C-alpha cells in the first residue's frame, strides 16, 4: 500500500472523531438516555459495559502479541472476535454519552474523557480501513491498534474506574 491510502484512512478516522466531537458539542444534552436492563442507571450500565470492553481490549492486546509471534489461526480468531465484541459493547455507551451528556470540558477528567470518546471511533475506523488493504506498511495496523487501545484505556480510566471508585461497583 502506498502512503496515500494510509493518509486517507487516518484522515477519515480524524473526520469521524471530529464529527462526533462537533455533534456532542452542539447537541443539547438530554441528561437521560437509554438504560440497559439490569442496571440501576445509565451511568452504571456504561461503566460495566465499558469495563467489559476494556477487558476485551486486554484480550486484544494479548492476542495481537501472540499473532505477531506466529500464534496462528486461534490467536487471529480470538483477536477478531474479541474486537468485534468490544466494539459492540461500546455502542450503547457511546449513544448514552453523546445523547445524554454530549461533549463536555467541565473538569480535566471530563475533558480527557470527551476527547478519548471521540478518538476511539476515529482510531477504530482508521484501523479497519488500513486492515483491509494488502501491501501496506507493516507498522500501520499495530500502531493504529495501539492507539485504539490507549484511547479505550483513557476512556475506562476516566469513566468506569472513576465511577467505581466514587460510587462503588454497583449494578
Question: In this predicted model, what pLDDT tens digit does every residue of 50-109 receive, in sequence order?
Answer: 999 999 999 999 999 998 888 788 999 999 999 999 999 999 899 888 888 889 999 999
Give dist(CA 81, CA 79) in Å, integer.
Answer: 6
39 inside domain: yes
Give the chain's domain count.
1
Own/partner long-range contacts of 140-144 (Cβ < 8 Å, ≥24 apart): 140/1, 140/6, 142/64, 142/68
Give dist(CA 89, CA 105) in Å, integer.
Answer: 25
111 inside domain: yes
> For 171, which DSSP code?
-
Where in the sequence is the domain holding 50, given as residue range(s)?
3-162
Q: Is the pLDDT of residue 41 over 70?
A: yes
121-144 mean pLDDT: 88
Contact at 8 Å (CB) between 110 and 25? no
169 inside domain: no
32-60 mean pLDDT: 85
14 inside domain: yes
Report the percentage of the chain scoring pLDDT > 90: 61
Nearest residue to 63 via CA among 45, 76, 46, 48: 76
State the pLDDT at residue 37: 72
33 inside domain: yes
State the pLDDT at residue 4: 79
Nearby residues of 134 by Cβ (< 8 Å), 6 or more positions away = 1
35 inside domain: yes
pTM, two decimals, is 0.88
Give dist(CA 17, CA 24) in Å, integer.
Answer: 11
170 inside domain: no
Amino acid at each position: 500500500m502506498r502512503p496515500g491510502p494510509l493518509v486517507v484512512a487516518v484522515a477519515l478516522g480524524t473526520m469521524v472523531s471530529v464529527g462526533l466531537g462537533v455533534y456532542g458539542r452542539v447537541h443539547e444534552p438530554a441528561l437521560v438516555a437509554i438504560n440497559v436492563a439490569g442496571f440501576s442507571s445509565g451511568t452504571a450500565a456504561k461503566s460495566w459495559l465499558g469495563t467489559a470492553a476494556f477487558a476485551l481490549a486486554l484480550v486484544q492486546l494479548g492476542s495481537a502479541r501472540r499473532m505477531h509471534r506466529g500464534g496462528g489461526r486461534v490467536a487471529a480468531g480470538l483477536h477478531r472476535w474479541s474486537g468485534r465484541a468490544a466494539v459492540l459493547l461500546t455502542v450503547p455507551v457511546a449513544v448514552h454519552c453523546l445523547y445524554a451528556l454530549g461533549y463536555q470540558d467541565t473538569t480535566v477528567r471530563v475533558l480527557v474523557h470527551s476527547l478519548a470518546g471521540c478518538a476511539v471511533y476515529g482510531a477504530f475506523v482508521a484501523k479497519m480501513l488500513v486492515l483491509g488493504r494488502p501491501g501496506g506498511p507493516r507498522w500501520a495496523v499495530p500502531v493504529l491498534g495501539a492507539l485504539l487501545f490507549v484511547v479505550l484505556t483513557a476512556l475506562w480510566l476516566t469513566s468506569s474506574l472513576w465511577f467505581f471508585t466514587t460510587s462503588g461497583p454497583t449494578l
